[in-house]
Structure 1
Amino acid sequence: MTAATAAHPLVDGSGPGWVATETRADIVGLNVGMSDLLGRVASDGDRPLVVSGEFSRMTRPLAEVLSALQGHWVIRTSDDGCYDAATGARLRRPEDVLGPRATDVHPAFLRGAVATRLQVVTTVSTRHRVSRPVRLGGVLEAAADAFAGHAPDAWGPTEPLVAPWDRDQLTEYSRRRMPSDSRWAAVAHGERPLIGTMHLARTREGLEETTHVWADVAGAGDARIDAVGAEARALLAKAAGIGMPLLGVSLAAIGAPDLTRRPIATPPPEPLALLVGPAGVRALDLDPRRWATDFGAAMVGSPRLPGVLVSLGGASGGGWARLSEVLGTLDPDRLAQLLAIAPSVAARLRTRGLGGSPERTGGA
């Protein structure tokens, strides 16, 4: 840790390879100070720890950045030590999250949520050829239209998000930052609000845009629950025509009404739909017509270079078995190669180990 990082007003502790900041805010977000601290910690090669109280919630933009930096969210309870917000593992000290941990789960992690909502969580990895005009933010805008019914209201690099949504400005700011990566967030308000993040990076193939979206879609007993599978497929079908999609997945998840992440155990999400873009079709040596016959897949995107869209299930379940069936027909080495070029989508697909036993997860 450099002297500049050590002097940062948000630093509350440090040790070999880690820097911690502690807060008791109800909602822990990616404000300017937090963003600055995380940037400095990453530049020093350390791992950030965000320590909060057991009833705090974390915004999705902060959770995404923290994950990208291999950081951790640690909960300090009022009278019973600490635990890892992602797994519930009990910790003696916050920094113990970086080493071997106890196998027992802290009881605070297992407490029930006061209120929950059904969310559609979508991740899409898209390539853009820099030899052609590029306009970023298309997948996130399509998601906002699909669920909120209008374009995002605001966007920016830190919270609160206050700049009016502007894809051209987003594209230009990202271009100016090249070859450095860019991370942006956007929000759409309304009856079915949405929060999304975008990670933009240069690769040997051009520009890669990874979009994560969390959309509030229904409450308990809402008739719209039955439609989430169709809505997820419609969104991925639209994403198939934006740039050159690599891979995309939509899942139904139980989450907080304000779309934040909570430090408690939640039911595993249920897969709704899988998109394999043209690059994925080639990498897997996949015959779209065969998938249409075997799995009822739809050919989407460009007729000349189509992708495939597979329905996996609905909010009530069955998606993991279907996903295992579909992926089980693929060559394991080719599948591993595809997942390696779309790691964010792979992480969503591994929520239950690609069809294995459910992993303990915190705050969907």
Structure 2
Amino acid sequence: MSYDVVALLAAEPGMIAVSHSLRDAGADLSVRPLDGGVIQLRDADRRVLATLEPAQLVESRDEVARLLGAEAAVNLPETCWWSEVRARPDAEGREAAHRIADGLALRLGGSVWTSGPGDFSLWEETGHPAVEVEAEEAFIVAQDREVVPLSSWITDAVSANALRGTVLQVVTPRTSRLTYALRTLLTQPMARWVVRDGEGGQFDGVSGLPLRWDRVHGYVPASHGGNTPEPAHGFLDISPLGAHLVVDLSVRHGASYAPPLGRAVELAAEHLAGRLPAGWGPHEPALAPWERERLVRLVRHRAPRSAVLQFSGPRDAGHPFTGGVRVSWAPDGERASERVSLAVGYEDEGALPLEALPRLVEALAAEGLLDVLHVRRARGRRDVTFEPRWHGLAAPVGMALGPDGVRRAGEEHALTGPLEGELLGEVGARAIWYPAPGDATRRRSSEAMAAQLRHIAAAPRA
């Protein structure tokens, strides 16, 4: 597993400070610049010792506490820069990372945070600084952190391996938790959260099933003579955990140079968490303060390429939440669409604000920000991080159809079908909220939602 060091600095690390700090790691070491301002430090045998990422200005300080812990956020400099070093996890690599980070902190002021000790047994020299091991159809990123985010290291590794068609697998100790963004990524086909059990084995952090190493596919389920294996010890812990409300929302914007991107995120956060987002960015940590104008400028600059952004809520106000938004553009670069995923944490299931959902639907429809909405509930920690334990299956709470969909299907047709819908909003901005049957099982609710969507799609053409 890698060894990560974060220097939280009182001034931006310029080339002079960086050069001197790299020299502190050893005058006989070589430096190699990579794309995007990344710098690698190599030993006498040309093996990677440490990789330094460009520093980021910390404008949303809640991210420091969310990802590094409350102690790391104490007495932060008034102006703060996040500078991260990823090191080879042997003694030589760890020492080099500390010399770089400590040198920056001494020259510029600030403090240094470190991850767990790492594990050199998993390390192989690969073509990417975030990747420890490569299989034929998977690449392995190992992280020894209390909270493992969807970092720039990981997103860059995913992009770099996209052409190879290989999938991401993340290895952590049992004590780690994943952010919502990273766990969501790891629930995709063949991706995997690999958890070391502390006894020489490993298991899947989502399903709990034991895993073994395979040179072709990476970590795969371990066979047990044709029998269904038992989940890892303690994985099925059913002690109180809290509750999540998960919102998936699609929005289609008309032609506009500056569409109201991010406004749907604000409405969902205000109605369900009681606060606006605190920070956003292309990955975690989401260090820029929430300003929709800046978000629109960045996304517009990337058009017609799509953009994926992460956001999170304030730490000590309202209910904790985090999520992501994907912005895609039509070929002409004028019409945009958003896919928003938001998870909000609550103390328990009784605290879920289900009564706020129709009001959210109405508010989205009134501003032309609703195509289709799906809402689910699930067990989960209030801080919206995920332990390697059973969280159960998410259960549908309801779904909504926006004004365009209602017009296409016709109000009369859309209000019929397996689910009883509630018509909301003013004339010209009608939406329909379909609550899940209150007395149905999770499976029957899911089937009813799917049947309602088929019914809407089968509306007769005018």
Q: How does 1:1-364 map to 2 (within 5 A)?
A: 6-67=126-187, 71-79=191-199, 81-93=201-213, 96=217, 102=223, 103-108=228-233, 110-112=235-237, 115-131=240-256, 133-189=258-314, 190-203=317-330, 206-219=335-348, 224-225=351-352, 228-243=353-368, 245-281=370-406, 286-292=409-415, 295-300=419-424, 303-304=427-428, 306-313=430-437, 320-325=443-448, 327-328=450-451, 331=454, 334=457
Cα distance in 1, alignment partners of residues 454 and 173 from structure 2: 45
SS at match of 1:155: strand
Alignment match, 1:339: none
Deviation at 1:166, TM superposition (A): 0.7
Are residues 300 and 333 of structure 1, via their aligned partners in 2, closer, same or farther at CA, if it must alter by over 3 Å? Answer: closer
Cα distance in 2, alignment partners of residues 8 and 137 from structure 1: 33
Cα distance in 2, alignment partners of residues 155 and 235 from structure 1: 22
Cα distance in 2, alignment partners of residues 93 and 119 from structure 1: 33
SS at match of 1:6: coil
Choose between structure 1 and 2: higher helix proportion: 1
Deviation at 1:311, TM superposition (A): 1.6
- Unaligned runs of 5+ residues in structure 1 are 336-364
Deviates more, 1:152-161 or 1:36-45: 36-45
Cα distance in 2, alignment partners of residues 171 and 235 from structure 1: 23
SS at match of 1:107: coil
Deviation at 1:136, TM superposition (A): 0.6
Deviates more, 1:87-96 or 1:61-70: 61-70
Cα distance in 2, alignment partners of residues 304 and 164 from structure 1: 35
Are residues 98 and 275 of structure 1, via their aligned partners in 2, closer, same or farther at CA, if it must alter by over 3 Å? Answer: farther
Cα deviations across residues 186-207 of structure 1 (Å, max 9, x unaligned)? 1112241111211112246932
Cα distance in 2, alignment partners of residues 162 and 280 from structure 1: 36
Cα distance in 1, alignment partners of residues 453 and 302 from structure 2: 38
Deviation at 1:305, TM superposition (A): 5.8
Cα distance in 2, alignment partners of residues 77 and 99 from structure 1: 15
Cα distance in 1, alignment partners of residues 236 and 442 from structure 2: 26
SS at match of 1:214: strand
- Unaligned runs of 5+ residues in structure 2 are 1-33, 36-124
Deviation at 1:333, TM superposition (A): 10
Cα distance in 2, alignment partners of residues 254 and 301 from structure 1: 32
SS at match of 1:49: strand
**Residue type of the alignment partner of 2:342:** V
The normalised TM-score by structure 2 is: 0.62
Cα deviations across residues 25-76 of structure 1 (Å, max 9, x unaligned)? 1211122323322222224432121111123111112234445696322222
**Contact 1:252-1:270 within 8 A present in 2 as well:** yes
SS at match of 1:240: helix
**Contact 2:211-2:220 within 8 A present in 1 as well:** no
Are residues 307 and 77 of structure 1, via their aligned partners in 2, closer, same or farther at CA, if it must alter by over 3 Å? Answer: same
Are residues 248 and 109 of structure 1, via their aligned partners in 2, closer, same or farther at CA, if it must alter by over 3 Å? Answer: farther
Cα distance in 2, alignment partners of residues 36 and 200 from structure 1: 18
Are residues 28 and 247 of structure 1, via their aligned partners in 2, closer, same or farther at CA, if it must alter by over 3 Å? Answer: same
Identity of aligned residues (%): 22
**Contact 2:400-2:431 within 8 A present in 1 as well:** yes
Cα deviations across residues 166-201 of structure 1 (Å, max 9, x unaligned)? 111111111111222211111112241111211112
Cα deviations across residues 281-314 of structure 1 (Å, max 9, x unaligned)? 46xx644335546644223456336332112256
Higher relative contact order (CA 8 A, sep 6+): 1
**Contact 2:244-2:346 within 8 A present in 1 as well:** yes
Cα distance in 1, alignment partners of residues 375 and 222 from structure 2: 32
Pairwise CA RMSD: 3.3
**Contact 1:24-1:53 within 8 A present in 2 as well:** yes
Query: Rg larger in 1 or in 2?
Result: 2
